[in-house]
Amino acid sequence: MSIEPEFSPDGGIWECARCHVPLVQQKVQAQYMHSAFDVILPRCPHCGLTLIPKSLAQGRMAEVEALLEDK
């Protein structure tokens, strides 16, 4: 029932440099300091290489990092 926001790439069409296939939006588990978070991110369907969009890295992910590290 949960409608999870998807974090799409910041712009342009992204493809995996190794496999030469377009990235697809997939559920990915991000782990940090013994915590795990399910998020939907652009990912290579072959090798699993995952792109973390700049907006996510500088936004929500930075906030979570600060809270986990008690900053």
Partner 1 sequence: MGKTLLQHTQSLCPVCLRRIDAAYVREGAEVFFCKTCPQHGAFRVLAWRQAAGLADFSAWQQGRVPAYPAHPATALRQGCPYDCGLCPEHGQHTCTGLIEVTQRCTLHCPVCYAAAGQGAAPADPSLAIIERQLQALFTASGACNVQLSGGEPTLRDDLPHIIALAKQQGLGLVQVNSNGLRLGTEQGYAARLKEAGLDSVYLQWDGTDDTIFQTMRGRPCLAWKQAALQACREARLGVVLVATVARGVNDHALGDLLRFAVAQGAVVRGLHLQPVASFGRFPWELANAPRLSLPDLMLALEEQSAGMVRAADFHAPSCEHSLCSFSAVYGRDGQGGLQGVVGAACCGTGGGQGAVLDNASGSRRSKAFIAAHWGSPAEKGAQGSASVQGAQAAMPLMDDLSRFVAQAGADRRFTLSAMAFQDALSFDIARVRGCCIHVVTEQGKLIPFCAYNLTSFEGIALYRGKEKR
Q: Which is nearer to partner 1, 46 or 59 (CB)?
A: 59
| Identity at 70, one-letter amino acid code | D
Q: Which of 13, 20, 33, 71 binds partner 1 (CB under 8 A)?
A: 33
Q: Does 4 bind partner 1 (CB under 8 A)?
A: yes
Distance of alpha carbon 10 from alpha carbon 68, whole angstroms: 26
Q: Which of 18, 37, 47, 58 binds partner 1 (CB under 8 A)?
A: 37
- Under 8 Å between Cβ of 19 and 4: no
Distance of alpha carbon 64 from alpha carbon 71, whole angstroms: 10
Contact characters 9-28, partner 1, x per CB under 8 A: --------------------
Stretch that binds partner 1, among 15-23, 37-45, 47-55 (CB under 8 A): 37-45
Q: Supply 5's token pair.
A: 């926001």
